[in-house]
A and B are shown apart, each in its own frame.
Chain A
């Protein structure tokens, strides 16, 4: 069994889009240099009232939520044995690996003493009372698990053909040995890591919601609720599959392939169910806490709340109930994009919109530097994804070019691997 019939993408890398992304990364690095040379104040609009801005709301909180496709897909295919979706697991995994990696970059950018980022791992620093401690530990552990889950893809591509450039060639044997070792061992233990990854995800996706529960007096009551951790978990599960659909359709467009509708159509049947569960808790919460009447007060906050629920949950839910929508790439993409943007909007609302500190003389509006760095992170993520799908067998192999270029294909015909089946 040779995995998924996945293969590296054979397309020219230096397209105008890639050059644009490179430019955006370079621009962000200029601001990052200023941030590390002169402090957070030199680049951001953060102050004593607004200690958290878009780097936490978007780069970290939204980044974690939108990387949920990794664990939801792994659970669907490897725990609930829905094998037909296996072809989608690799790009979902790569998205999660890159998503969490950039979450870590975002945290480093935001921490005043970034060089102490490893402190939570020290037993002498352990602070079990802190929800943030739990998030940090689970994210560190999950990032490790994600790289382990990625390893079979690396083995499939490089085992037996390690050719490091230049003097690094001396290490070929060592790397080869390591890949062989992974090949022999990982297959037996991968199911443990996949289950572990799902457990760690449910824990930190929910604990991320606990963070703002600790500031009840500074949060708009529309968003502040003791069940924020549950809402974060439910929305993460719902957005996981929507994200897989969203990126699969984008990849199909960018690489000029036929969209994998035979998988995306049935997969998207589950999204409205998950959205409905999330919506039920979200609506039940504002009703039970008695804040539902605030929605009619015409304030900006209530309007934003209604937009978040309406455009991000209700409309895509109704759209995805229709078989016609699920079958048409354009409509399916629109619905999936609304779910993705809706969850992103929710995270931004919880961390920024709902946050109303005392004695504030102005609202927080992100600075040019904050936006440039966030854009650079997103661009860097897309860039790495684009490079890695060209190097590693992540996306399903294209059939026609395969036949046309039989001569050059032998490099990518993966050898039989014991772990292909588990390469999530």
Chain B
């Protein structure tokens, strides 16, 4: 019982309508973020055609390369990663099954549910949107690149050779297409074998577990992104272990929960800093040695 593209588009339009009707308040953002959109990538279905790379370049105005160029299989010789002018790339890994079929793995921003990059960002240039997308607002950015330091998937890239207006560059989850235009992400729209499925994250998780249950051993029993670093909007199904396909082995805890609790512990309603200030002021006054006048009293000596 898979989600058809028509179902998805219908639900998209409905989502778009509700969004126009009610500008999201903080509470509704939180509610909707509780079930953001996502994409389920079924690695057993990917044939490595790289049409997703081409479509991504078109939509995001990345270097325009003719679609035929993406049929060149020689790029699979070395591991590629998303960079400032490629938001998504497909890599080939040796298969492990009896048929030894290679496994193709599409990489892009995972759009974490609780993103370290957004927690890191000093000016909120990176933000988790209610639709699931982690977006970047260039004019806010200072270019400190802390987001790149903390990303557990090593995704954000930088324009190091732009001297004046360098940007942090990464997959946008086609934020405007999915939240305002009622369209699919460009890569999902073009994917011929439908190994990419777009939908609500909760529905995609249910679908992924149904596929594992009904696949009679076709899949490893692991939906990558279901719990990694607190969960991601992009989810993966695979026939072999994810660690053999270049996926980092990550814990379930979202790193921002730890640092933000440290941060909020130190700054709780500004009470600890004020208490320290008060205590030190008290020490200055209480322990002043005998015979030493307060500074204001010294002033007017000739």
The contact size tier of chain B is: 35 or more
Are A111 and B153 within 8 A (Cβ)? no
Taking CB atoms and an 8 Å cut-off, the chain B residues in 248-296 that contact chain A are 248, 250-251, 255-256, 258-260, 262-263, 266-267, 273, 276-277, 280-281, 283-284, 287-289, 292, 295-296
Please, how many angstroms separate the alpha-carbon atoms of A130 and B124 in the complex? Answer: 9
Q: How far is the CA of A45 from the CA of B101 in the complex (A)?
A: 38
Kindly list chain B residues whose C-beta atoms are within 8 Å of the C-beta of A196.
Answer: 277
- Please report the C-alpha to C-alpha distance between residue A418 and residue B297 in the assembled complex, in whole angstroms: 8
State whether A46 touches B258 (Cβ < 8 A).
Answer: no
Contact mask for chain A residues 228-240; partner B; CB cutoff 8 A; 1 contact, 0 none: 0100000000000
Query: Is A165 in contact with chain B by the CB < 8 A criterion?
Result: no
B302 at the interface (CB under 8 A from A): yes
A154 is an interface residue with CB less than 8 A from chain B: no
Contact B149 A215 (CB under 8 A): yes
- Contacting residues, chain A, for B140 (C-beta < 8 A): 116, 119, 125
Instruction: Tell me if B158 and A48 are in contact (CB < 8 A).
Output: yes
Contact B154–A130 (Cβ < 8 Å): no
Q: Nearest A residue to B166 by beta-carbon distance? A: A112
> A421 near B: Cβ within 8 Å?
yes
> What residue in chain A is nearest B260 (Cβ atoms)?
A129
CB pair A112 B158 closer than 8 Å: yes
Contact with A along B138-173 (1 / 0, CB 8 A): 001111111011101110111111110110000000
Please give me the residue from chain A that is nearest to B80 by CB atom.
Answer: A359
B119 within 8 A of A: yes
Most buried by A among B154, B229, B248: B154
**From A37, A119, A359, contact of B163 by CB (8 A):** A37
Q: Within 8 Å of chain A (Cβ to Cβ): is B299?
A: yes
Q: Among A116, A202, A357, point to the contact of B154 (Cβ < 8 A).
A: A357
Tell me which of B143, B158, B262 contacts A226 (CB under 8 A).
B262
> In the assembly, what is the distance between CA of A223 and CA of B248, in Å?
20
Interchain nearest-CB distance for B261 vs A (Å): 9
For residue B122, CB closer than 8 A to chain A, the reply is: yes
Establish whether residues A213 and B258, one from each chain, have CB atoms under 8 Å apart when the complex forms: yes
Q: Does B34 contact A (CB under 8 A)?
A: no
Q: Residue B266 contacts which of A52, A203, A211 (CB distance < 8 angstroms)?
A: A203
Q: Which of B143, B162, B277 has the most CB of A within 10 A?
A: B143
Contacts of B209 in A (CB 8 A): none
Of A78-86, A142-150, A294-302, A379-387, which stretch is located at the interface?
A78-86
Binds B, one of A156-164, A182-190, A243-251: A182-190
Q: Is A47 an interface residue (CB 8 A)?
A: yes
Set of chain A residues within 8 Å of B165, measured between Cβ atoms: 113
Q: Is the CB of A113 within 8 A of B289?
A: no
Say whether A210 contacts B295, CB under 8 Å: no
Say whether B158 contacts A418, CB under 8 Å: no
A216 with B160: CB separation less than 8 A: no
Instruction: Tell me if A101 counts as interface (CB < 8 A to partner B).
Output: no
Which A residues are CB-close (under 8 A) to B120? 130-132, 214
Q: Which residue of B lies closest to A229 (CB)?
A: B262
Contacts of A416 in B (CB 8 A): 301-302
Given contacts A51-B158, A226-B258, contact A112 B124 (CB under 8 A): no
Q: Which residue of B lies closest to A117 (CB)?
A: B142
Partner of A187, one of B118, B145, B296: B296
Q: Report yes or no: B160 in contact with A421, Cβ–Cβ below 8 A.
A: no
A212 CA to B146 CA, complexed, in Å: 9
Q: Which of A46, A81, A129 has the most CB of B within 10 A?
A: A129
Contact A48 B149 (CB under 8 A): no
A51 to B117, alpha carbons, bound, how many Å? Answer: 13
- Which chain A residues numbered 184 to 213 have a C-beta less than 8 Å away from chain B? 184, 187-188, 190-192, 194-196, 198-199, 202-203, 206-207, 210-213
Q: Do residues B298 and A1 form an inter-chain contact, with CB atoms below 8 A?
A: yes
Partner among B118, B163, B280, B288 whose Cβ is within 8 Å of the Cβ of A199: B280
**Using a CB-CB cutoff of 8 Å, which residues 71-124 of chain B contact chain A?**
79, 81, 83-84, 116, 118-124
Chain A residue at smallest Cβ distance from B281:
A195
**Cα of A40 to Cα of B260 in the assembled complex, Å:** 30
Chain A residues closer than 8 Å to B61, beta-carbon distance = none
The reply to whether A113 and B166 form a contact with Cβ atoms under 8 Å apart is: yes
Contacts of B296 in A (CB 8 A): 187-188, 418
Most chain A CB within a 10 A radius of its CB, from B144, B150, B280, B284? B144
Closest residue to B169 on the A side, CB-wise? A48
Residues of B within 8 A of A330 (CB): none
Q: In the complex the two chains form, is A51's CB within 8 Å of B259's CB? A: no
- Asked whether any CB of chain A lies closer than 8 Å to the CB of B300, the reply is yes
Q: How far is the CA of A50 from the CA of B165 in the complex (A)?
A: 20
Residue of B83, B255, B302 touching A48 (CB-CB under 8 A): B83
Q: Is the CB of B154 within 8 A of A79?
A: no
Q: Which A residues lie within 8 Å of B289 (CB)?
A: 81, 83
Q: Give the distance in Å from the alpha carbon of A83 to the alpha carbon of B161 in the complex.
A: 53
Cα A48 to Cα B80 in complex, Å, equals 12
Q: How far is the CB of A211 from chain B (nearest CB, A)?
A: 7
Establish whether residues A116 and B142, one from each chain, have CB atoms under 8 Å apart when the complex forms.
Answer: yes
Counting chain B CB atoms within 10 Å of each CB, which of A36, A188, A422 scores highest? A188
Determine which of B124, B154, B161, B277 lies in contact with A49 in the assembled complex, contact meaning CB atoms within 8 Å. B154
> Are A195 and B154 neighbours in the complex by a CB distance under 8 Å?
no
CB pairs A–B below 8 angstroms (24 shown): A39-B161, A47-B160, A49-B154, A51-B148, A81-B288, A112-B142, A117-B142, A125-B124, A129-B118, A129-B263, A130-B122, A131-B262, A132-B146, A133-B122, A187-B299, A188-B296, A198-B280, A206-B266, A213-B259, A214-B256, A217-B251, A416-B302, A418-B296, A421-B295
Beyond known contacts A40-B160, A214-B150: 16 more, CB 8 A cutoff: A38-B161, A39-B163, A51-B158, A110-B144, A112-B144, A112-B145, A116-B142, A130-B122, A131-B263, A132-B120, A133-B122, A188-B296, A190-B295, A203-B266, A213-B262, A421-B298
A positions within 8 Å CB-CB of B: 1, 36-42, 44, 46-49, 51-52, 75, 78-81, 83, 110-114, 116-117, 119-120, 125-134, 136, 184, 187-188, 190-192, 194-196, 198-199, 202-203, 206-207, 210-218, 226, 229, 355, 357-359, 416, 418-419, 421-422
Which A-B residue pairs are the 6 nearest by beta carbons? Answer: A112-B143, A41-B160, A418-B299, A51-B145, A51-B148, A112-B166
